[in-house]
Amino acid sequence: MSGVTIRNVWKEYAGQTVLERLNLHVASGEFVTIVGASGCGKTTFLRMLLGQESPTRGTILLDGQPLPAEPGPERGIVFQRYSVFPHLSALDNVTLALELPASPVLGRLFAREKRIARDKAAAMLRAVGLEHAFDRYPSELSGGMQQRLAIAQSLVSAPKVLLLDEPFGALDPGIRGDMQALIRQIWQQTGVTVFMITHDLPEAFALGSRVLVFDKPRIDPQAPQAYGATITYDIPLRGRPGQVPDALVQRLSSAPGAPNEEAS
Amino acid sequence: MTRLINLHPDRVSRVVLGLLPFLLILAAYLVASADRLAANPNDKLLPGFGAIADAFWRMASEPSGRTGELLLWADTGASLVRLAWGLGIAGAIGLAFGVANGVLPLVRAGLSPLFAGLSLIPPMAILPILFIVFGLGEVSKVALIVIGIAPVIVRDLQARTLELPQELLIKAQTLGANSWTLVLRVVLPQVLPRLLDALRLSLGAAWLFLIAAEAIAASEGLGYRIFLMRRYLSMDVILPYVAWITLLAFIIDWSLRTLQRRAFPWFARVAGGGR
């Protein structure tokens, strides 16, 4: 079964249930956007997909195989910040992604192999619009350019799944639009499966082929931590950008804690 | 009226204000020295600048009657070699164990309490042990510097390594790094400029331990010479030696800072620079 399968996954910390009863199958090649109020476990969900945390109950399968319990090359990640290596130029950042899997002892390629890797990295940088920034360090790039670099770095070794944790949350609205166009184009060209957390409902509905809404269906006023969040809406858009349902906007904006500024 | 907190010096007055305390101390010394020399031309406590310059020139250019060496240069060479060995070995230990502690939780659990404990031992208290174990030669002096500063560098680099954003380590794993290549390509290059910072901060302590070791048992070296000259109340040698040591320390510090800026051009912007 190709894609990501999630079977009855729970995540609990001491005395606190964060996520409960998650059941989901995502076919490969889908673009899943994830929205929900603050503190409802979206980031925890992404971390479990990443392998940074493991579920307390249940299993996550990738193409029918249990997901390795630590981050690995089959899953790429772009965080909101700190996604690229500050000590490497843009070209070296992307080249590193080709060198690390190929060289387990030195983490470095030489001579002809190095040239091939650099050419491939350069092509990837051109594809995300960074053809003028090969030799610049990340600190010399704007926020949007840094995220372009992070996307190029994550995708150059062709992972099966790309995880995006509010990748455009810190960007100006104008830049955001460019980045959304870029990620949509990359998704269409590569067919990679994307999971993207966002706080921006229109963004979720414009980009996703499927929108997941995380929320707490049960709340015990005496013990607010007792029940966790789960997927309350699973909205397929079949590749056509959808309008944001009014009911959903109502539901999310009336939830405790407005849908922005998540303290993950 | 402009508040005092809003008055800023311009470039010229900043230089003047910075030099002023030095000049005042110098002037106070000259007045006191002239005063004492007027009362007793043979006074040794506060020699005039002429006597100091004569003594320094003698140390730098006239071969010693006993060994035939130019004492200032022989002392400087001996001390700098010891200091270099001490800083080099302590830096290597600090880098190896600091990074290992910072990256590998299993190593950290085993070694972090050890280095925390070691760094609390007053190094001077174990100098006698070093002399007993290593003898009175070069090894015990270098060992004192290493024991004095290595635990601090280890702990500092451990903290700096742990400060690296977790996201970067996760990212490297998703790019296919194993633990070793992650250290080699992601952690070490980012910790190296921080090692230079740690060495700069340890420089004062390194000089302290060097001079202490030389004062107790040596036959040459800047610290040895100062403590030897104390027996003759030779302030005309001691004072320029102290100034010379200060100048050397400044040059080493400046070199490390310049090396950091040249070798790691990305670092200043990441760390806020100017340190």
Give the residue on B whose Cα is nearest the Cα of A76: B174
Q: Do B17 and B88 fall within a single domain? A: no
Contact flag B175-A105 (C-beta cutoff 8 Å): no
Residues B148 and B205 in one domain: yes
- Do residues B142 and B74 share a domain? yes
Whole-number pLDDT of residue A55: 86
What does the block give as tokens for A225?
């931590």
Measured in degrees and rounded to the nearest 5, phi and psi for residue A38 equal -60, 145
- Which of A27-31, A139-143, A243-247 is predicted least confidently? A243-247
How much is the pLDDT for A42?
86
Residue B115 predicted with pLDDT over 50: yes
Question: What pLDDT is stored for residue B273 in this prediction?
Answer: 42
Distance (Å, whole) CA B173 – CA A119: 23
Q: Please determine, for residue A87, whether its predicted confidence score (pLDDT) is greater than 80.
A: yes
What pLDDT sits at residue B274? Answer: 39
**A201-211 mean pLDDT:** 85
Identify the contact set of chain A against chain B, taking CB-CB distances under 8 A: 50, 52, 70-73, 75-77, 79, 81-88, 96-97, 99-101, 103-108, 137, 139-140, 153-154, 157, 159
B152-211 residues touching A, CB cutoff 8 A:
165, 167-168, 170-178, 180-182, 184-186, 189-190
Q: Is the pLDDT of residue A58 over 90?
A: no
For residue B201, the model assigns a pLDDT of: 93
* Cβ(B198)–Cβ(B157) below 8 Å: yes
Confidence at residue A66, expressed as pLDDT on a 0 to 100 scale: 87
Are A52 and B170 in contact (CB < 8 Å)? yes
Whether residue A104 and residue B267 make contact (CB cut-off 8 A), yes or no, is no
> What distance in Å separates the CA atoms of residue A200 and residue A35, rounded to the nearest whole number?
8
Q: How far is B140 from chain A (nearest CA, A)?
A: 37
Task: State the pLDDT at residue A206.
Answer: 84
**Beta partners for residue A76, in sequence order:** A162
Confidence check: pLDDT of A124 > 60:
yes
Q: How many CA atoms lie within 13 A of A89 on its CB side?
A: 14
Same domain, B118 and B28: no
Structural domain boundaries, residue B134: 59-271
Residues of chain B in contact with residue A83, where contact means CB-CB under 8 angstroms, are 167, 171
Distances (CA, A) of B25 to A163, B21, B28: 64, 6, 5
Query: Which tokens belong to A104?
Result: 């387990």
Query: What pLDDT shows up at residue A252?
Result: 67
**Is B31 in the A-facing interface, judged by CB distances under 8 Å?**
no
Chain A residues within 8 A of B265 when measuring between CB atoms: 137
Note whether B22 contacts A: Cβ–Cβ < 8 A: no
pLDDT at B271: 66
Q: Are residues B35 and B121 in the same domain?
A: no
Contact flag B270-A139 (C-beta cutoff 8 Å): yes
Name the least confident of A250-259, B33-42, B83-92.
A250-259
Which residue out of A49, A52, A87, A195 would a mutagenesis test of the B interface target, given it has the greatest number of B Cβ atoms within 10 Å?
A87
Q: What is the mean pLDDT of residues A115-143?
A: 87
Do A76 and B189 lie within an 8 Å CB cutoff?
no
The residue of B168, B174, B188 whose CB has the most chain A CBs within 10 angstroms, and thus the best one to mutate to test that interface, is B174
Predicted pLDDT at A254: 57
Residue with tokens 């403590």: B227
Sheet holding A16-26, edge to edge: A16-26, A4-13, A57-62, A65-66
A81, B181: Cβ pair inside 8 Å? no
Question: What is the percent of chain A where pLDDT is above 90?
Answer: 10
Q: Which residues of B touch A140 (CB under 8 A)?
A: 269
Let me know if residue B145 belongs to a domain. yes
Mean pLDDT of A51-76: 86
Q: Which pLDDT value is given to residue B226?
A: 92
Q: Rounded distance, CA B20 to CA B18, Å?
A: 6
Q: How far is B174 from chain A (nearest CA, A)?
A: 4
Cα–Cα distance measured from residue B99 to residue B108, given in angstroms and rounded to the nearest whole number: 10
Question: How far is the C-alpha of B90 from the C-alpha of B98, rounded, in Å?
Answer: 11
What is the band of B244 on the pLDDT scale with cuts at 50, 70, 90?
very high
Distance of alpha carbon B204 from alpha carbon B198, whole angstroms:
11
Cβ of B176 within 8 Å of Cβ of A97? The answer is yes
Query: What are the chain A neighbours of B176 within 8 Å (beta carbons)?
Result: 72-73, 97, 100-101, 157
* A87 touches A174 (CB < 8 A): no
- Within 8 A of B264 by CB-CB distance, chain A residues are 87
What does the pLDDT read at residue B27?
Answer: 94
pLDDT at B272 over 60: no
Q: How far is B154 from chain A (nearest CA, A)?
A: 22
pLDDT tens per residue, range B6-19: 989 999 999 999 99
**Would you place residue A253 in the very low, low, confident or very high pLDDT band (cuts 50, 70, 90)?**
low
| Of the partner residues B168, B177, B189, the one whose CB lies closest to the CB of residue A100 | B177
Assigned fold of A1-74+159-264: Rossmann fold (3.40.50)
Task: For residue B159, name the pLDDT band (cuts at 50, 70, 90).
Answer: very high
- Asked if A205 contacts A237 with a C-beta cutoff of 8 angstroms, the reply is yes
CATH number at residue B118: 1.10.3720.10
* Residue-range domain boundaries for chain A: 1-74+159-264, 85-145+152-158
Chain A residues with beta carbon closer than 8 angstroms to that of B172 = 85, 100
Share of chain B above pLDDT 70, in %: 98
H or E stretch at B210: helix B188-216
pLDDT at A158 over 90: no
| Any domain includes B1 | no
Q: Are residues B78 and B15 in the same domain?
A: no
Residue B116 lies in a domain: yes
Maximal C-alpha separation, chain B: 80
Does some domain include residue B235? Answer: yes
Q: Is A159 helix (H, G, I), strand (E, B) or coil?
A: coil
Asked whether residue A57 carries a pLDDT value surpassing 70, the answer given is yes
Q: Is the pLDDT of residue B94 over 90?
A: yes
CA distance to partner chain B, nearest, from residue A264 (Å): 13
Alpha-carbon distance of A123 to A102, in angstroms, equals 19
Does B181 sit within 8 Å of A73, measured CB to CB?
Answer: no
Judge if B115 and B243 occupy the same domain: yes
pLDDT at A12 over 70: yes
Q: Are residues B33 and B116 in the same domain?
A: no
Query: Based on the structure, what is the number of domains in chain B?
Result: 2
Residues B28, B63 within the same domain: no
Say if B53 falls within a structural domain: no
Q: Is the confidence at residue A239, as pLDDT, over 70? A: no
CA distance A44 to A264: 8
